[in-house]
Structure 1
Amino acid sequence: MTAYEKPALSLPEAERFLEDHYSAPVEKVTPVDGGNLSRVFFFDIGGEGRVLRFSDLPQGFALQHVMSERLRSQGVNYQRFLEYGTFGTLTYSIAERIEGTMLINAPEGVQRDLLPAVAERITRLNRVEIGDSHGYGWVQTDGSGSYPTWRDYLVDFFGDNQTGTFWENWTDLFRTSVLEREVFDECYARLMAYSKYNEPYRFLVHNDSHPWNLLTDGRTLTGLLDGNFIYGDFLIDLTIVERSLPSLPVTATFRAEYEKQGLLLPDFEERLIGAHYYKGLDGLRFFAKMGWTPAYEHTRDYLLSLVKG
C-alpha cells in the first residue's frame, strides 16, 4: 500500500472553480500547506477571507457544516462553515478564514501562556449540550453516535473489514509498511483492557484537538478547526494535546479546567491510559500509511512504555 496522497488539485483549477462558483470577483487565491487529507486554498471575496477545501474521501463535509452551527450556537468559537458540495469526483467546502497562525508554530512561551485558553476552549466543546441523542463513536449528521457502546465502536474502528472509508484495506499495511502486527495486537489488547474505564463517559470529543487545529494571533486563541467528532470520554482530547505539546503542563492545566467546569474525574489515570491507547493505536496505522516512520516509531515506543500489559 502506497502512502496516501490528498487530491492533486492545482492553483489554476481552484481559480477556475471559484470563478465559476461566484458571480463576484475572487481575489488572492493561494494554496496552503497543511491539511493531511484535503487540498486547501485561501481566497478573498467581498473583502472577507475564506477557506476552500477539496477532499476525495467519501464522508464529505456535511458533518462539519452541522457541527459548526451546533457549536457556535452554544458559544464555542469554532470555524464557521458556509457551504459544501461536490466537484467532479471530489467534495468541497467553503468556510470563513480565521485570522492567526497554527499554535504549533508559535514560540513555546506563547504556547505556554495560551494553554489555559486551550483547555477552556476544548473543555467547553466537550460540555456542549447533546440533547436526547444516543450512541458512541462517530457523530452522524442527525446528532447521534454510530454505535451502541464505546466498545462496539472500538471493535469496528480497528476491525479488518472496512469499506468506503480512509481505512479500507488498512491491514495491507502489515505487509507494505512499517506497521508491525505484534505491536499492533499488543496495543489493541491493552486498549480493550482499559476501555472499560472510558466506557461510561459520553461527551462530544473533538478527536483531533492538536495545535495544528488551534489558531492564535500571538495574544489570544482565535479559533478551533477541523473536528473529527465522536462521542466518548472527554479525556481523549486531553491526551491529544498532551502528546503534541509534551514540554508543557497539559494534564495539570486541563485538570484545573475540568474542576472549574464541574467535570468529575473518577478513575482518571486508567481513563487516561485508555485514551492514549485509542489515539496512539490509530496514530500507528496513520503514520504507517502516510510513510512517516519517525512518528510511527516514537508513538510505538511511547505506547509500549505505558503499561506492562
Structure 2
Amino acid sequence: MADVPMKPQVNSDEVIKLLEGLFEEQIEKIEEAPTGKIKKVYFFQYKDKWSVIRFSHNDMEFKVEKYIQEALKVEKFPLPKFLHSGIYNNLYYAISEKVEGKPIHKLNEKELKYAMPSVMESLIKLHSIDTTPCEGYGWLDYNMSGTFNTFIEFLQSFFSKDQEGFWKGWYELFEKSFLDYSTFNALYEKMMELAKYCEGRKYLTHSDFHYNNIIINNSEIVGIIDWGKVSYCDYIFDIATIILEFPNYNLLEKFHTVYKKNNFDTSDFIERFLCAAICSSLDGMRFWAKFGRMDAYKSILNNILMILNKYDVAIK
C-alpha cells in the first residue's frame, strides 16, 4: 500500500459553491459518497445527469487517469469519462461521469460468473499498455515513470518500518494490537523468497482491483475507479487481488488460461501468484489490526495459510 495522507476536509456547502462557479445552472442534488479513505468524494446531479467530484491532496491519480484514457483511446475501456479538474483551497479536484451499477463484491456467484469475462477483458487491455518507454517499478511519478529501480525494492517499501502518513509508526501494532510479529515476518520472508519470480515483469497495474472499485451492470464492467495506487509491476498483482476476494470460485486457473491465450508470459504463474497473494494479505492484516477488527484479520490470515498449504508451501 502506498503512503497515504489523511482525507481532505470539504463540506457540501463548499462543494456546491465551487460547482455553481463551474456550471451555468444550479446543482440539483448533492450527496457525500459513503466510501473513500483517502479522497473526499461527492455525487451531484446537474441537468438530470449524475457526476462525481473527488478532492485529493495531490493530483497524481487524476494525471494517471488521463494517461490511461490516452493510452487506451482506441479501446473500449471502462474508465469513467473525465470531465474537468482544477484546484480548490490547496486541494486538487476532478469531476467525472458517475457510472451506475453494482460493486463487484456485492455480486452473487451466478452474477460473478457472467461478469467475469468482461472483467478479464478489461484487465487484458490494461495490462497490454506498452510500458517499455517507462523507467522503473512501483508507484508512478509525474513523468509516468516508476519510483524504484527494481521490483524487489518496490515490494520491500510496502512494509518498511519507517513510513509517513497513514502507516507512520505502524510497527507499534506488533506491541499494541493482535498483529503477531512472528507470523507476519514468516509470511514476509516467504513473499520475498518468491519475489524473484516477479522481478523484471513490468505492467501497468491498477493495484487496488476489487471491492467498490469495479462497477458491474448487466454482466458488463462499466467502471473501474480509484486509480490512486497505480504502479508498474507484475500483472499478477491485479489478478491476485480479485482472486483473494472470491477464494471459493477457482479463478486462478481461469485467469491462467485467458492470459496464456492472449500471449502473456505465464511462466512461474503459481509462484508469482503466491508472492502477490501474500503481499495483499499482509497489507490487509495490518490494516485490520490498525482498526481493531480481529475477525477480518483472522479471515485474511486463515485464507492465505490455506492457499499456501494448497500449493505445499511451508512458512517457518
TM-score (normalised: structure 2) = 0.86
Q: Is the 8 Å Cα contact of residues 128 and 204 (structure 1) preserved in structure 2?
A: yes
Match of 2:174 in 1: 174
1-structure distance, mates of 2:176, 2:298:
16
Q: Which residue of structure 1 lines up, in the alignment, with residue 233 of structure 2?
A: 232
**Contact 2:131 2:202 (C-alpha < 8 Å) held by counterparts:** no
Maintained 8 Å contact 2:60/2:142 = no
Q: CA deviation at 1:271?
A: 0.9
Aligned-residue identity in percent: 28
Q: Deviations for 1:21-50, whole angstroms, at most 9, x for unmatched residues?
A: 444322221122222332321112344321
Q: List gaps (5 residues or longer) in structure 1.
A: none
Q: Write out per-residue CA displacement over residues 114-133 of structure 1, whole angstroms, 9 at most, x where no aligned residue.
A: 11111111122111122411
The CA distance in 1 between the partners of 2:59 and 2:252, in whole Å, is 32
Q: Show the counterpart of 1:73.
A: 73
Contact conserved, 1:74 with 1:128, CA < 8 A, in 2? Answer: no
Q: Distance in 2 between matches of 1:99 and 1:244?
A: 22
What's the secondary structure of 2:130's corresponding residue?
coil
Counterpart contact for 1:51–1:95, Cα < 8 Å: yes
Match of 1:39 in 2: 40
Please say if 1:220 is aligned against 2:226: no
What's the counterpart of residue 198 of structure 2? 198
Identify the residue that residue 245 of structure 1 maps to in structure 2: 246
CA shift at 1:210, angstroms?
0.8
Q: Which amino acid aligns with 1:249?
A: N
Q: CA deviation at 1:8?
A: 5.5
Give distance in 1, aligned partners of 2:208 and 2:153.
21
SS at match of 2:43: strand
| Paired residues for 1:1-309 under 5 Å | 6-7=7-8, 9-55=10-56, 57=57, 61-75=61-75, 76-88=77-89, 90-163=91-164, 165-227=165-227, 228-305=229-306, 306=308, 307-309=313-315
Deviation per CA, 1:126-162, whole angstroms, max 9, x where unpaired?
1112241111111223121111101111222221122
Q: Secondary structure at the match of 1:191?
A: helix
Aligned-pair Cα RMSD in Å: 2.4
Contact persistence 1:187–1:303 (CA under 8 A): no
> Aligned AA for 1:292?
R
String of CA shifts for 1:81-138, please: whole Å, max 9, x gaps: 3344443364432222122221222333111111111111112211112241111111
- Taking the aligned partners of 1:212 and 1:111, their CA distance within structure 2 comes to 14
Q: Is the 8 A contact 2:140 2:147 kept in 1?
A: yes
Q: Which amino acid aligns with 2:173?
A: L
- AA aligned to 1:293 is M
Secondary structure class of the residue paired with 2:20? helix
Residues 74 and 35 (structure 1), Cα distance of their counterparts in 2 relative to 1, 3 Å cut: farther
With over 3 angstroms needed to count, the CA separation of the structure-2 counterparts of 1:146 and 1:77, relative to structure 1, is: same
Deviations 1:36-93 (A, max 9, x none): 33232111234432111234x5575444443443344252322233344443364432
Rounded to whole Å, the distance in 2 between the matches of 1:153 and 1:224 is: 24
Q: Say which is worse superposed, 215-224 or 168-177, in terms of deviation.
A: 168-177
What SS does the corresponding residue of 2:51 show, helix, strand or coil?
A: strand
SS of 2:166 mapped into structure 1: coil
What code does the residue aligned with 2:128 have?
R
CA contact (8 A) 2:60 2:141 kept: no
DSSP-derived class of the 1:26 partner: coil
TM-score, scaled to structure 1? 0.88
Alpha-carbon contact 1:116-1:253 (below 8 Å) kept: no
CA pair 292-149 structure 1, distance change in 2 beyond 3 A:
same
- Contact 1:29–1:44 at 8 Å: present in 2 too? yes
C-alpha change, 1:72 and 1:97, in structure 2 (3 Å) is: farther
Q: Secondary structure at the match of 1:82?
A: strand
The one-letter amino acid of 1:121's match is: S
SS in 2 for 1:251: helix
AA at the equivalent of 2:94: S
